[in-house]
Amino acid sequence: MLDAARTERVKKTGLKTGNYWEGRITMAHRERHRTERIGWLRATVLGANDGVVSTASLVVGVAAAEATRQNVLVAGVAGLVAGALSMAAGEYVSVSSQADTERADLEKERHELATQPEAEEDELTGIYVDRGLEPELARQVARQFHAKDALVAHARDELGLTEELAARPLQAAMASAASFAVGAGVPVLTILVAPLNILVFAVAGVSLVCLLSLGALAARAGGAPVAAGAARVTIWGVLAMLATAAVGRLFGISAG
């Protein structure tokens, strides 16, 4: 009788394969969603874009002031090192603050579960009712989750906290620093190989191609339109380099 009920459940849910254990179905495969990589993807893309834009803009500004290749190279390397460390520190502090907030919310929830379990069950039931479950079914679901792991249920359904989206400060800091250094390496390497008389145009051109690629790659990885992702990154890069080139040219003429 039980096997017949399970077979019927498989037919109704559309599951072709599954393993039953203690009344649960274990899927034969695990779906992967883009939200699972949003933390490191955000830090990596932000770091690489900032590395290209800020270092290329710095290099273009110094080169526009008619500085020597050595001076431009020193400025580029200094911008790479300072920017990578700044990105790492900023990302670590920012994500650490987020992690502290998440821990505080979990501690508060843990305390409420210990002192007011009935009220917390009512709250979870209300959440499921708001999502479309019948009150009786919502109560059953809430009770089962409370019996298994109440804190996990409240963290997920009340606070919106999951393992995939949890704040990871060290991971974010390392991703930001490494990606910034890679991005900043593009204009720095261009300084070494490009002729001095076209250095400004060479750095700007190579950097814009890199920004286009990064924008498209980030958009594709995040499931967004590729053209829009590439365009918005490139436009801001162009504006930044134009501004620093104008400043460098102005100071170069003034000094001359």
Q: Over the stretch 39-87, which tens digit does the pLDDT of each residue have?
A: 556 667 778 888 999 999 999 999 988 889 999 999 999 999 999 999 8
| Residue ranges making up the domain that contains 227 | 38-255
Burial class (CB in 10 A: 0-12, 13-18, 19+), 37: middle
Query: Which pLDDT belongs to residue 249?
Result: 82
Flag residues of the chain having pLDDT under 70. 1-43, 162-166, 222, 252-256
Query: Which pLDDT belongs to residue 73?
Result: 94
Q: Is residue 121 included in any domain, yes or no?
A: yes
Q: Which residues of 67-89 are buried (b: 16+ CB within 10 A; e: fewer)?
A: beeeebbebbeebbeebbeebbe
Please give the Cα distance from 242 to 148 (Å, whole number).
59
Q: Is residue 159 included in any domain, yes or no?
A: yes
Query: Which pLDDT belongs to residue 41?
Result: 64
Query: Which pLDDT belongs to residue 22?
Result: 38
Query: Which pLDDT belongs to residue 72?
Result: 93
The token pair at 35 is 């939200």
Q: Is residue 151 included in any domain, yes or no?
A: yes
C-beta of residue 26 within 8 angstroms of C-beta of residue 19: yes
5 C-beta neighbours (distance < 10 Å), count: 9
* Residue 168: strand, helix, or coil: coil
Q: Is residue 226 included in any domain, yes or no?
A: yes
Query: Which pLDDT belongs to residue 166?
Result: 67
Nearest residue to 77 (alpha-carbon basis) of 204, 185, 227, 193: 185
Q: Is residue 12 included in any domain, yes or no?
A: no
Total number of domains constituting the chain: 1
Query: Which pLDDT belongs to residue 254?
Result: 42
CA 200 to chain centroid, in Å, comes to 32
Please give the Cα distance from 221 to 38 (Å, whole number).
9
Task: Classify strands 19-21 and 24-26 as parallel, antiparallel or unpaired.
Answer: antiparallel
